[in-house]
Homo-oligomer: A and B are copies of this chain.
Amino acid sequence: MHNFTFCTPTKVIFGRDIEGSIGETLRGYGATKALLHYGGGSVKRSGLLDKVKASLEAAGLAYVEMGGVEPNPKLSLIRKGIELCRAEGVDFLLAVGGGSVIDSAKAIGVGLANGCDPWDFIESKTAPSKCMAVGVVLTLAAAGSEMSNSDVMTNDENQLKRGITSEAVRPVVAFLNPENTFTVSKFQTGCGIVDTMMHTLERYFTGDGDCDLTERLAEGLLIAVRDAGRAAIADPADYEARATLMWASSLSHNDITGCGKNRKFPVHKIEHDLSGVHDNIAHGAGLSVLFPAWADYMLELGHDVMKFAQLANRVWGVEMNFDHPEVTARGGIRAMRAYFREIGMPVTLQELGLTPDDYEEIVSKTVLGGTVLKSYIPLGREEILAIYRHAE
């Protein structure tokens, strides 16, 4: 177990009928005027936005609105948000939505608190030490951004999708009502299930050796998500299943499943350029295609066979083959792909509409300037193309 620092101060208010407490809670953080940040019309149609406004008004809080956040949040809108908040004297950013809305709000907060463009931190590869306070009313169990220290945005000038990692961007408060996810489509629910699993699995496979407690927690979370995922796909209004998926999405990315490990997130980095270049592709769909392919590639090279077998045995219920652990390991990847299919997720690049002609452009972004991805094996252009071929 490596040395680590763990600090997740986000206050989580979880359950039914919690929206009435939003205004008073924000006042407790010193807010006087909030940006209400959201995506399309779903938070209006569902009535959630009206509930949030009513709570802010009841607490005597002013607010301005800015909707229009798209999946893979765009730097251009973030810049408009920074201008708006400056002009309006906003002192609290309230994201009402999923990961894209939260990450857009975080990027606005970074720009406001540091008096610069948030992309500067990506270009200079530095981490911001300040961010305006961000709160979250979550509508999608997926990204885990509501408790995380990460913030991913897409530069719509060059299609680069990149992230900032900083303790400063952890939201101060997150309102998690599973009922607000009942109307999420089966496909988006599937994307969320995959994203939550991947945040956990990218911390699981790190080549760091013993880390039993962290791995046991990860396995428990994966099993709970596996079963709740099936239940939520079958019945979108299953409260217990939606609650499990929502809480798991937060825990999968607040780092409780990564303590003591060196996290590198190779598959996320590869996928970010896939959905960055082809932004009609959902992040979760890109991951459900690429993670099993990465796993195949790792096993082909003989890396981490016993850890893949452990996952197969403990999470996917594959009986251990003590003579041939690699058989168990491969059985786990097979079971994972079958599960992804069962919940309606793609597992091949063809299903995403990509052909071999598309790979070069995407991979060229990932290895821009000769970058080699740090993973517990380095991944350059040829290695990433080999992973793509495992996803055909």
B1 A5 Cβ-Cβ under 8 A? no
CA distance in complex: A223, B11 (Å): 28
Task: Check A14 against B6 for contact (C-beta < 8 Å).
Answer: yes
* Residue A2 interfacial (CB < 8 Å): yes
Q: How far is the CB of A190 from chain B (nearest CB, A)?
A: 18
Q: Which residues does chain B contribute within 8 Å of A224, judged by CB atoms?
A: 212-213, 216
Q: B212, A216: Cβ atoms under 8 Å?
A: no
Residues A10 and B7 in contact, CB atoms below 8 Å apart: yes
Given A3-B14, A9-B9, A220-B220, also A213-B244 (CB < 8 A):
yes
Closest to A243 in B: B1
Q: Is B210's CB under 8 angstroms from A216's CB?
A: no
Q: How far is the CA of A224 from the CA of B260 in the complex (A)?
A: 14
B residues near A247, Cβ cutoff 8 Å? 1, 213, 259-260
B9/A7 in contact, CB under 8 A: yes
User: 8 Å CB contacts to B: which residues of A199-233?
Assistant: 210, 212-213, 216-221, 223-225, 227-228
Task: Tell me, yes or no, whether A61 is within 8 Å of chain B by CB.
Answer: no
Flag if B216 contacts A228 (CB, 8 Å): no
The 3 closest A-B pairs by CB, nearest first: A3-B15, A216-B220, A9-B9
| Sample of 9 further A-B pairs with CB below 8 A, known A5-B11, A7-B10, A251-B256 | A1-B15, A3-B16, A5-B13, A5-B14, A7-B11, A8-B8, A213-B221, A213-B224, A217-B217
A-B contact pairs, 28 of them (CB 8 A): A1-B240, A1-B244, A1-B247, A3-B14, A4-B12, A4-B14, A4-B15, A6-B11, A7-B9, A7-B10, A7-B12, A8-B8, A212-B224, A212-B227, A212-B228, A212-B244, A213-B221, A213-B224, A213-B225, A213-B228, A213-B248, A216-B221, A217-B217, A217-B220, A217-B251, A220-B220, A251-B256, A256-B256
